[in-house]
Structure 1
Amino acid sequence: MATAETQTMVVGIDDSEHSTYALQWTLDHFFANSTVNPPFKLVIVHARPSPSAVIGLAGPGAVEVLPHVDSDLKKIAARLVEEAKEICSSKSVHDAVVEVVEESPKYPL
């Protein structure tokens, strides 16, 4: 007996209002009224840039700044994960997967 595999929907997030709107829109249009058996597996992804990509490697003193930039990027990513989980919870979507990957969001993997 063949079973139907649930399709996966991926939503990318960053710290913009457009990103928040896109996540809310997706939840409202694809997950509303389907909390018992959602039509998709939802994966929310934040592409966290590397510290060197943020500040560049030019100039003296860049090495000393990298740990601070990395710490800030991790804090931003943690905040975005929590916000995404809160948005999903407010829409009664409790099984969404939220991932953070360290990649440039501009370039494909």
Structure 2
Amino acid sequence: MASRLAACEACRKAKVACDHKRPACTRCASNDRAGICIYRTTPFKRRRVESSTSSQSPSRLPPAQPSFAPRNNPYPNPGFLGSSSHVAIFNEISPKTIMHRIPIILLRT
């Protein structure tokens, strides 16, 4: 890969193109900033991006395990079945307890 020339610090901070002229680039010279047109002596270090296709990545990862056990349920999505679930509450209520707890007033029309 061909390396690119680094922009001067003023152009880099302003995020503008630099023509890399020495001792001062054209932008710095035209803006009377020739004295602050400084180039880095050492390039920035690029971070290595690890790809998922790397030969080392499978050895670092723990083996995959299923996060849940399949259930034999007649419904595809039974909903939440915890203690506060509607399904759990309805399973605890029988028609007899409903009749004793809730008075029903029948009105004739």
Normalised by the length of structure 1, the TM-score is 0.22
Q: Which has the higher helix share?
A: 1
